[in-house]
Amino acid sequence: MPSARATYGVTVRSERGRGRLVWLVVGVVIAALVGLALFRTLGTFVFALFLYYATRPLYARLNSALDHPNLAVTLTLVAIVAPILLVVGYGFLQALIEVDQFLATHSLEGYRRYLQPYLSLVRSGQLRQLWSTVVDDPSQPLPLPVQQLVGRLFGQLSTIFGLVVTVLGHLFLLSVFLFYFLRDDHKLAAWFARSVGHGRVVGFLSAVDDDLETVFFSNLAIVAVSGGIATVTFYLLNLVAPGRVVSIPILLGLLIGIATLVPVVGMKLIYVPFTVYLAALAFLTPTPLWHPVVFFVVTAVVVDLIPDFFVRSYLSAQSGVHMGLVLLGYILGSISFGWYGLFVGPVIVVFAVQYAHRVFPDLASEVDFG
């Protein structure tokens, strides 16, 4: 007959086992809900992760100099947002210029006679009569051409408004992710180390963390260097060459810098179509024929070839992950996951490399292959 103490011990262990199982199930449910929420915004999350690792060195320097985490994070965010706003603002300015040129060349006089009765009511302040005319009296609808014009404008404005709201929502979420990643990453790391101990898992993830910072910071450095060199080169080309070769040097330079994130083709995705555009202008307008030739040669050599060779060579020497594997991660990630695969692919590569270096040899040594 088992003793009472033994029976009690078995009962306690059984209850503890059931309690742990319940808490494990709760943890799995919570993890599944969090994963579902992140999956719906996966692109924004992985882009925030990329920006976190890419800007963490800048934040560390600012925080050590200022000794004020919130201010350091704010300045880091400004350093990221300012170029984005510059691109958007410059593009919006160019769009306004195009709209102004369109209005200058396309007369709207055909709609004026239809709109005149309603405009006269607005000018005279008879808004109640205007409301009665447009809404309350269905026997006097707007003329068909005006209805079609208003319908097109309303549809375009609705589409633009929806797009703007969506983009602003993702930008806000991106800022929240990035803010707390930068400010509270050490708290998360300390909690994880206390929870799992300072064993193989912490060492493995620490190595992954260091490699991700090197890889993503290298990407941001290439974007900044390439965009800066392109902008300066286009300005100098406009100064040296007779005639304005590049009409939008700032916007084109920034787009070229951003395009370096695209694997294989990189900035060619921007300057090759622009060369075709310049060639079309040369054939259709009095633009000199040498403009597209000079632009393509200068951009390919000064902006693309030389900086790419030196910058990537230097940065690859600083990384513990072979740049060829990182490039493969970009390509396969983009094919497998879409646009955010640009950031998921390198993460998978870094995890795989660190697993091969740190975990697989120990596991293989414990297996008898006969």
Reported as a single tens digit per residue, the pLDDT across 18-75 is 777 888 888 889 988 888 887 878 888 888 888 888 888 888 888 888 888 888 888 8
Question: Is it the case that residue 191 has pLDDT exceeding 70?
Answer: yes
Task: Categorize the per-residue pLDDT at 142 as very low, low, confident or very high, splitting at 50, 70 and 90.
Answer: low
Q: How many CB atoms are closer than 10 A to CB 104? A: 8
- Expressed in angstroms, the distance from the first to the final Cα of the chain is 47
Question: Is it the case that residue 136 has pLDDT exceeding 80?
Answer: no
The token pair that represents 203 in the structure block:
């060492």
Q: Which of 93-107, 245-259, 343-357 holds the top average pLDDT? A: 343-357
Q: How many CB atoms are closer than 10 A to CB 184? A: 13
- Over residues 335-362, the mean pLDDT reads 82
* C-alpha distance from residue 230 to each of 64, 243, 257 (Å): 32, 18, 8
Classify burial at 73, counting beta carbons within 10 Å of its beta carbon; exposed 0-12, middle 13-18, buried 19 or more. buried
pLDDT of residue 222: 81
Q: CA-to-CA distance for 21 and 12, rounded, in angstroms?
A: 14
pLDDT of residue 121: 60
- Residue 164: CB partners within 8 Å, gap ≥ 6? none
Residue 324 exposure: Cα atoms within 13 Å on the Cβ side? 0
Q: CA-to-CA distance for 118 and 14, rounded, in angstroms?
A: 82
Q: How many CB atoms are closer than 10 A to CB 219? A: 21
Give the least confident one: 14-23, 199-208, 226-235.
14-23
**Which DSSP category does 67 fall into?**
-
pLDDT of residue 117: 61
pLDDT of residue 66: 84
Q: 278-306 pLDDT, tens per residue?
A: 888 888 877 777 888 888 888 888 888 77
Token look-up 């060369």 returns 275
Q: 147-167 pLDDT, tens per residue?
A: 565 566 666 667 777 777 777
- Over residues 337-365, the mean pLDDT reads 81
Task: Categorize the per-residue pLDDT at 268 as very low, low, confident or very high, splitting at 50, 70 and 90.
Answer: confident
- Over residues 194-223, the mean pLDDT reads 81
Q: CA-to-CA distance for 344 and 147, rounded, in angstroms?
A: 48
Stated as kind and residue range, the H or E segment containing 93 is: helix 69-105
8 Å CB contact between 221 and 260: no
pTM above 0.85, yes or no: no
The mean pLDDT value of the chain amounts to 75
pLDDT of residue 312: 63
* C-alpha distance from residue 318 to each of 32, 193, 214, 313 (Å): 37, 27, 7, 9
